[in-house]
Structure 1
Amino acid sequence: MEQTTGLCQIMKLTFRQIEPFVQSPDPAARVIVVYGPDQGLMTERAKTMCKTIVSDLNDPFNVATLSTDKIIEDPASFYDEANAQSMMGGDRLIIIKNGADSLSTILKEYLEEPSAGTLIVIEAGNLTPRSALRKLAESAKNAAAVPCYVDDERNLSQIIRDMCTHAGYNIDQNALQLFSSTLVGDRAIARNEIEKLLLYKGLPKGYEGFEGAPSSNRMGKISANDIYATSGDVRDWSMDKLTYAVGDGDLQTVHTIIDSLFRDQMAPIVLLRSMQNHFWRLYATNTKIKDGQDMQSAVKSLTPPLFFKVQDEFKRQLSRWPVTILESALDALNKAEMMTKKTGYDQESITKNCLIQLARYNPSRRRAG
């Protein structure tokens, strides 16, 4: 089969080639291995490619779903399925779930003379560069490997914007940045969160989802408050963002997040306790370092362990907040908490003033001044 896109000679796709290939797979590729750490993206891309062959993936005549274990147990059934002719006309599709290296020998033999009327799509999970299945898909002229790595914030921002626009909404930049920064990790989870947001805002009449026609109705704007109202992950992320902003002396971020959280009816005591917890962890770690333990070991000993994305930031704050100043900060937080428990005091103002004063007190800001 003649190659028309130039990908046949390079079935190890570059980043820019992936999406065009997914939307219109090279006809020379009779076996496509979809792999990577993002399960949601892997499933989404596999489904998109499958639908270029058969529009209804539940079609019993043109679609067969096989497992790796079944193929290894009975290779003959795989060859029979792969070489079967469509009873209703058109191309056939074989979907293999949980693809593994144990398939590579059978597939290598099959690719020596594959069926021209059957596409095989394999969802294989996270394959290392040494994987026999991945190597086969990347090196064979009639196969392809489609990697599915975790979306970065820029890619997610585009997906969020596209889905909101499709449903008739404009999402403002602050909301977009807030939402995208919390959804990195799994495309399917990200889409579910976006759909939950759109359901909360209200879908236009007759809207058939992202796979249907875009809405011609203009439904209004999506703000950061809408994100807070629908996503618990965003609220948790905002709390973490706030504690690190205070520790970094980032006054603008502190103001913005506190105001947003209070608009979302967040209890002031929760902010104070979150800040106390953060400073206690800094204090405990710095105390161990002061007693002679190296930073890496001291950080690793934290329970619960630090999320990997904030480890570098936490280590930077260890050097910015010595034990003596952390003691003063914890004392200030305790006093603020006691005041919020007294009647007649504005709890939100007390909390906000305390956190802003701590951000201003940040030793690195004082040295910079």
Structure 2
Amino acid sequence: MNLLEYQKGLENREIKPLNIVQSEDEYVLKTFTDKLSSLYEVKLLWGDELERKSFFSMLTEGEMFTRKKKVFVVKKGEEFLKSVKDGAYFVSLAKKLNKVSVFFVISEKINKSQLEKEPLKTILSIGDFLEAKSPDKRKVRELVKSRFVKEGRDIDESALEYLLEITSYNLVELKNEVDKLLLYKEGKITLEDVKSVCFSSAEYTIFDFINAFYTKDMEKSLVYLSSLLKSGISPLQIQAILINYSIRLFVASTSARDQTDKDKIFTELSLNNPYLRHSFKIYMEKFTAMEVKNLILKLHTLDIAEKVYFADPQESLKNFVIEYLRYAGS
């Protein structure tokens, strides 16, 4: 069964104790795991780290103290299954599991003859065989288009087609690139925007510069900025992203007290991408709330200098980066 179909109505489905997932698409698998996590207590394990003797106790640890069903997702499941080829072991294991289910995720392609060999043959007599297949191109296009609509943004058809082609319709890559585009600028997204942000003709991308700036690396910031400006990226667009990041960083720095707070604030700030969350945690360690406040004021001053007093945007932005990072590093 296709994993996308399996997860429909998952809350009403009786999940079998042992199951096999053949993973062809990491994004589909992640979507499934997220769905599981919204319903049950989910724990991720790695097959190459598991041992036959301790596996059962690991699955049932704390079982008598919880009423919620527990689900274990075992990545690199093939490694554990190779070490335990005894079908009787899995029959015995399934009988002992009460409020626990296991999904063994196998990244290798499985053919029909392999399904008829142990231990897969026995496991599939107990549980389900699910395939995390990539959606067809038409479905992927609809998913990407709906993401822009959900965010209240419009994208040119030529830009959308180009984005799909350069990512080869890979949902994991598409999610990252769409997140970048949504942060890049306001208004309609054009083909030029996609080329600039996703696969820029510059040696570096705008997000290389952003990461260098918010980790206070002046040398890299200037190298990346120079490359971007030479490739034709507008300094005003770069400033817009700096302002966007700075405001979010200030809100996060002044609102979050602990890790739980951080995750809640990140969600409220639409920082849902794992890479962005990780980056912002690093930025929060590099910048104090007072430094970020000062940064916002200086960016505001820079904006006035350019728009009111007609200061040259390229030179002004370069000077701003040098002066601010010199101040921040002192």
- Higher Rg: 1
More helix by share: 2
Structure 1 length-normalised TM: 0.45
